Amino acid sequence: MMKVLPVFMLILTSSVSWADVKLPSIISDHMVLSKSNATAIWGWADPDETVVVSLSGLLASAKAGKDGKWMVNLNLKELGAGPFELMVKGRNELKIQDVMVGEVWLASGQSNMLLALQNTLDADKELSQSANSMQRHFEVKLKHASEPAEDCEGSWKLAGPSTARYFSAVAYYFGKNLQKELKVPVGIMMASCGGTHVESWTSADALSTDPELKVGMDKILQESKDYPRKKEEFVSSFGAWLKENGREDRPTEDVSAFAGETDSLDDWKPVKIPGVIKADGIPDQGAIWFRQDIDLPADLGKKKLELELGVLDGFETVYWNGKEVAKMTYKEYSGTPCYRRYELPENLFRAGKNTLAIRIFSPASRFKFIHKVKAGSQLFGDKWTAKTEFALPPLTPKIYAKAPELRRAEGAVGSPSAVPASLFNGMIHPLVNFPIRGVIWYQGEGNATRACQYRKAFPLMIKDWRTRWKQETLPFYYCQLANNKGKNFQPEESRWAELREAQAMALQLPNTGMAVLIDLGESDNIHPGNKRDVGERLAKIALAQTYGKDIVYSGPVYRSMKVEGDKIRIEFTHAEKGLVAKKLPEVYQVNTVKAETAPLVPNSPGSELEGFAICGEDKQWVWADAKIEGQSVLVWSAKVPSPVAVRYAWAENPTCNLYNKADLPATPFRTDQFPELSRNSKY
């Protein structure tokens, strides 16, 4: 290498026709490189151009292929933490500054992984002490792609008050705990997108290996291909229908009368969202305004949030404190169902009173909201006021039947984030050359309606990523869905419980781990504010399984059952140091952002343990009494003299209190194999 270097430099200085050497965005200032014996550095140059890479005395060279791609591998095993300068020389010279060598992890998933630290509990306190040059994050900019992309957008940031506020909270706390324990630089590559399906994060090649998933993928891809033509036809035909029937929208003469800040709402009608809007003076079709005032904390003004209106009937214009911030007409409409999510600019919010006003123009359907309205994790109340701007004449059934529709497969066409392989192509594929120690993952809400199919789709994605990184046992640690939605007063079937079960089944793959979050959720907030414990639980798994630390990383896990007369005994793993019946709190979390709680009413008030249900051959579930006996739990009910099966924490938002002495919750489980709600739901 050293002998050919002067010749190479002579050629370099004498040439003027070669293109500049380029690097991917992940190889940039402040990056963390994996302490590996084969850490890749790659990029693009002219075909056959020689590129030399140096780092702290290490040298490697490569010749670009016919496609202009080149790659070298550096052995960083004996290198210290840094910082170092990485130099890349071809026709031009590139210097990458402040390079650290340590542990690199990929964090991915949907909105709960994406949720920024500034939007979580105790954010201000944490941010004030977040400065740490040994903890760095690289956030991949959202990108959907129909083919695997070679590069992505993003930059490395050092943790600190001005930067960490935008870091994934889960990834931040995970990285913080690793860095603190290992005393080495920790880099997190964050690639997440809200409201996504696991199939979007899986390559098309992998999806094609499963006949069932391939059918779903092919169908959605064909619908996506046909969508532009159908959208153009809809815009033309719907516009013609509006004009022909005199149902076109009209400009608002005085927006301030509806969206402006005022204390006089005497002529506004109280209504509730979500649901069909019913109130005196509110027509079935026309233009209606909805508004709500809300008091916000001072720190919210610094934040960039998403406003979620969910699915609604009609076309909306959104105003915040009298300023238009979002708009959708039938020309922008993506088709039924169309989920509304708008990014709101920074510094839009202010401390104290704020007014959200939404104008809905509905020429064909009744006014209806399907979801509650929220901005980030700030949930707006159910009570709103509404006022009519103008009403349209009632539609006859004949005219209504002729109204054009733009239909799409739910979560697919019109929603690029749900198209199979689109996020793998745009956000994961550009990273696969970059060595990583492992993956942390938080996703599943988007697949809850197809929970049984997740049993195959989730492991398929894990295997796919391991293949891409050329590591058959790449550590893959993930979050089980947290508790959410209302409390059940009777045992019921649950798709969310089925999804949690599917997630637990993925532990059959080697080198996987699952952080149980059944005690960290909120009933009225799908994005729970406590992400500190989430990151810490993931870190415990990594420290124990990847780094060999002698710590407890899992709560009790169901192992076996045995019928003992009118009772059933449940045995657990991860119970070696003892089981604990944790004292139930007096209240449960409804929404931490709004500091809302509700009284907790036990389902088995006389029982040591809460959350167990039992049934006989009739499959009629009842709440059970349960107690700890050594490393097992005994479950029974006077209503079930001949029990056959037990379930624990089998609900969207169960009340449960079985832990081990490391204060880690037991994994929800069932001992039966009764038919599932999601058994026939397919991609």
In the prediction, which pLDDT does 6 show?
40
User: Interior CA angle at 81 toward 77 and 82, to 5°?
Assistant: 120
HSE-CB at 408 with a 13 A cutoff on CA atoms is 30
Q: pLDDT-derived band of residue 304, with 50, 70 and 90 as boundaries? A: low
Mean pLDDT over 322-340 rounds to 89
- d(CA 139, CA 145) in angstroms, rounded, equals 17
Whether 445 contacts 253, CB under 8 Å: no
- d(CA 150, CA 67) in angstroms, rounded, equals 12
Continuous H helices in 106-203:
111-114, 123-128, 169-182
Residues in the chain: 683
Mean pLDDT over 191-204 rounds to 95
Q: Is residue 148 exposed (0-12), middle (13-18) or buried (19+ Cβ within 10 Å)?
A: middle
CA-atom Rg of the chain in angstroms: 28
In the prediction, which pLDDT does 379 show?
62
% of residues, the chain, pLDDT over 90? 79
In the prediction, which pLDDT does 377 show?
53
Q: Which residue has the higher pLDDT, 7 or 611?
A: 611
The answer to whether residue 378 scores a pLDDT higher than 90 is no
pLDDT in tens, 111-158: 999 999 999 999 999 999 999 999 999 999 999 999 999 999 999 999
Domains of the chain: 226-401 (2.60.120.260), 555-666 (no CATH)
Spatial CB neighbours of 170, under 8 Å, sequence gap ≥ 6? 107, 112, 113, 115, 440, 442, 479, 531, 534, 535, 538
Question: 291-300, 481-490, 538-547, 558-567 — which is least confidently predicted?
Answer: 291-300
Strand partners, 60: 53
Smallest Cα–Cα separation from 478: which of 495, 461, 496? 461
- d(CA 90, CA 46) in angstroms, rounded, equals 9
Q: What are phi and psi of 240, to 5 degrees?
A: -65, -40
**Residue 323 DSSP SS3:** strand
% of residues, the chain, pLDDT over 70? 94
Question: 116-125, 261-270, 283-292, 453-462 — which is least confidently predicted?
Answer: 261-270
- d(CA 135, CA 168) in angstroms, rounded, equals 13
Smallest Cα–Cα separation from 51: which of 63, 68, 66? 63
pLDDT in tens, 216-258: 999 988 888 888 899 999 999 999 999 999 999 999 999 999 9
Q: Is residue 342 exposed (0-12), middle (13-18) or buried (19+ Cβ within 10 Å)?
A: middle
- d(CA 251, CA 241) in angstroms, rounded, equals 19
Q: For residue 679, which amino acid is it?
A: R
In the prediction, which pLDDT does 470 show?
96
Whether 597 contacts 587, CB under 8 Å: yes
pLDDT in tens, 394-406: 999 999 999 998 8
Q: What are phi and psi of 88, to 5 degrees?
A: -125, 120
Q: pLDDT-derived band of residue 648, with 50, 70 and 90 as boundaries? A: very high
Q: Which residue has the higher pLDDT, 440 or 295?
A: 440
Q: pLDDT-derived band of residue 345, with 50, 70 and 90 as boundaries? A: confident
Smallest Cα–Cα separation from 192: which of 178, 174, 171? 171
In the prediction, which pLDDT does 70 show?
97
In the prediction, which pLDDT does 155 show?
97
Mean pLDDT over 521-536 rounds to 95
Query: Starting from the edge strand earliest in sequence, which strands make up the sheet with 315-320, in order?
Result: 269-272, 383-391, 286-296, 352-362, 315-320, 323-327
Q: Which residue has the higher pLDDT, 558 or 446?
A: 558
Spatial CB neighbours of 396, under 8 Å, sequence gap ≥ 6? none
Q: What DSSP element (H or E) covers 457?
A: helix 451-468
Q: For residue 667, which amino acid is it?
A: T
In the prediction, which pLDDT does 17 show?
41
Instruction: Quote the strand ranges of 330-465, DSSP E.
Output: 339-343, 352-362, 368-369, 374-375, 378-379, 383-391, 438-442
In the prediction, which pLDDT does 1 show?
33
- d(CA 88, CA 62) in angstroms, rounded, equals 11
Mean pLDDT over 623-629 rounds to 98
CB atoms within 10 A of CB 92: 13
What per-residue string of b and e applies to 502-517 under the rule 16 or more CB within 10 Å gives b? bbbebeeeebbbbbbb
pLDDT in tens, 67-87: 999 999 999 999 999 999 999
In the prediction, which pLDDT does 300 show?
58
- d(CA 461, CA 207) in angstroms, rounded, equals 8
- Residue located via tokens 């509806």: 258
